[in-house]
Structure 1
Amino acid sequence: MISEFKEFIARGNVVDLAIAVVIGASFGKIVTALVDGIIMPVVGMAMGGVDFSQLFVSLDGNDYANLALAQEAAAPVITYGAFIQTIIDFLLIALVIFLMLRGYNRLRHTAPPAEEAAAEPSEEVVLLREIRDSLRR
């Protein structure tokens, strides 16, 4: 069982997947920092100084000045501001992945594979083959 496990881990697919997960998690942190530190303050200022992290609805019927006070009182709250920030995080990550895949696909389609170029014989070779085949008959 140990040798099978070593063989499984040594496969390129597992290592590639592990690297992708680590890079994806790091990229997610970068996007979250971008959204929290740069994008949301600008959007908040454009909307009249709204701090999205403080947008919430208290379910106990009381009014609280901010989210910290509601959480201190152990009030049940719906933090829809955090949800809005998470949606923006997701959209930015999806956009960046789309742009990267789009660029990758363009690079892949513009450069013809060397095998295809070498696989087609020249017109002279085709003509010589036709002559050879006709002489055999």
Structure 2
Amino acid sequence: MKKFIQDFKAFATKGNVIDMAVGVVVGGAFGKIVTSLVNDIITPLIGVITGGTSLADKKLVLHAAELAEDGVTVLKPENALTYGMFLQNIIDFLIIALSIFMVIRMIGSIRRRAEEAKKLLHKKQEEEAKQEEPAVPEISSTDQLLIEIRDLLKEKDSTAEEQAKS
């Protein structure tokens, strides 16, 4: 898990062009899913933690709005830092980046496995080629001695037959 986090950190800060290009494509594909995940699942859970308000609605009011006596008409709008939407966008980004990282890591793993399989296949083919070569069996010294005795006996028999014929 530690290596996974280190790899993700390196990926997020490295800015590799190819990885980012893949990220744009995959991010576009995951966009609606991620938005739905954040809006429909994560944000309500954060709302429960933060007291029922949506994360996107979180803000720091610097100056409250001034209303007319009727209580509806806004004379001067409020001035606020709407940090909730910013936090929600950060969550969106992290989910998209994590998804892209997972896809790239999976592709890298598939590439490594393919390379390993290719090397293994090449090694197996080399071994099969070596096995197909006719192997000349080595003859032990005892067998060699017996072969020589046999040949001498054959030679002696053929010489004896020639002498008997003459």
Scaled by the length of structure 2, the TM-score of the pair is 0.48
Task: Output one character per residue of 1:74-132: Cα deviation in whole Å (capped at 9) or x when no partner.
Answer: 43332100011001101111111122222222222223354773377337649x7xxxx
Structure 1 regions of 5+ residues with no counterpart?
1-16, 129-137
Question: SS of the counterpart of 1:58?
Answer: strand
Higher strand share: 2
Identity %: 36
**Cα distance in 2 for residues equivalent to 1:104 and 1:24:** 16
SS in 2 for 1:104: helix
TM-score (normalised: structure 1): 0.56
- Specify the alignment match of 1:118 in structure 2: 122
- Could you tell me how far 1:48 is from its partner in structure 2? 2.5
Structure 1 residue aligned with 2:11: none
Kindly provide the CA deviation profile for residues 43-82 of structure 1, in whole angstroms up to 9, marking residues without a partner as x. 21133223212111233x2268xxxx9x995433321000
**Structure 2 unmatched ranges of 5 or more:** 1-20, 67-71, 134-166
**Residues 52, 73 of structure 1: alpha-carbon distance in 2 compared, 3 angstrom cutoff:** farther
* Structure 2 residue 93 is matched with structure 1 residue 90: yes
Taking only aligned residues, the RMSD between alpha carbons, in angstroms, comes to 3.7
The within-5 A match list for 1:57-68 is: 57-59=60-62, 61-62=63-64
Please give the alpha-carbon distance, in whole angstroms, between the structure 2 residues aligned to 1:72 and 1:54: 22
Distance in structure 1 (CA, Å) of the matches to 2:25 and 2:111: 25
- Structure possessing the higher radius of gyration over alpha carbons: 2
Report the count of equivalent residues. 106
